[in-house]
Structure 1
Amino acid sequence: MTNEEFQKIVIEKLGSIEDKVVSLEKGQQEMKEDIKSIIEQTASLSELRYEINGKVDKLSEEFNTIEIVASKNWNDIAKLKAAR
């Protein structure tokens, strides 16, 4: 193999390596964008979770109030029935 042939092979291989590096960099950039999108979506989901938890807590409190009122109503109905 002559020096020129060797240099040609090396240049071809370097070009191939350069193409692969460019492809990896592009893939890395796409991954960064995907991760950024995932982070934004996670923040939105966390916000939604916080809001839903607050609403569930409020519903739970209202349900407890309804149970107490219903209990008092049943008590009043029983007293009215007994007074007949």
Structure 2
Amino acid sequence: MEKEILDLLKQMNKKLDAHTLKLDTHTQMLDTHTQMLDEHTQILRALEHLAQVNKSEHDRMFNDIAHLKGETEAMRKDLATVEIVTARNMENIAHLKLIK
């Protein structure tokens, strides 16, 4: 009877050893996957940061373009004023030539 119990315990011990090996293998796989997940998380965070930097640069460029557009409009108005003044001057010169 004792021998049978010992044999059963040995068989159970062998099965437990086999399951322990499987668990060790799965634990190693989980560790590997966890490490890969950590690396992917770091990459994702870096990409998110780059996206934020790009958005900031895009917004800054948009503001610069709007500012340049405003300056261009002001220059157009100034040029129109110069054209009007030049036309008046030409008219005055023509009148002066007639008076001579």
TM-score by length of 1: 0.81
Sequence identity percentage: 12
**2:55 matched to which residue of 1?**
56
Within-5 A mapping of 1:14-53: 14-53=13-52
**Shift in Å, 1:78:** 5.3
Q: Which segments of structure 1 move beyond 4 Å, counting only runs of 4 or more?
A: 75-79
Shift of 1:41: 1.2
Q: Which runs of 5+ in 2 are unaligned?
A: 85-100
Give the distance between the partners of 2:6 and 2:14, measured in 1 at CA: 12
2-structure distance, mates of 1:7, 1:31:
35
State the alpha-carbon separation in 1 of the partners of residues 57 and 40 from structure 2: 26
Deviation by residue 1:11-33 (Cα, 9 ceiling, x = unmatched): 11111111111111110110000
Tell me the distance in 2 between the aligned counterparts of 1:19 and 1:74.
82
TM normalised by structure 2 equals 0.70
Determine the structure 2 residue equivalent to 1:6.
5
Instruction: Choose 1 or 2 for highest CA Rg.
Output: 2
What amino acid does structure 2 have at the position aligned with 1:27?
H
- In structure 1, stretches of 5+ residues that fail to align are none
Structure 2 counterpart of 1:46, one-letter code: R
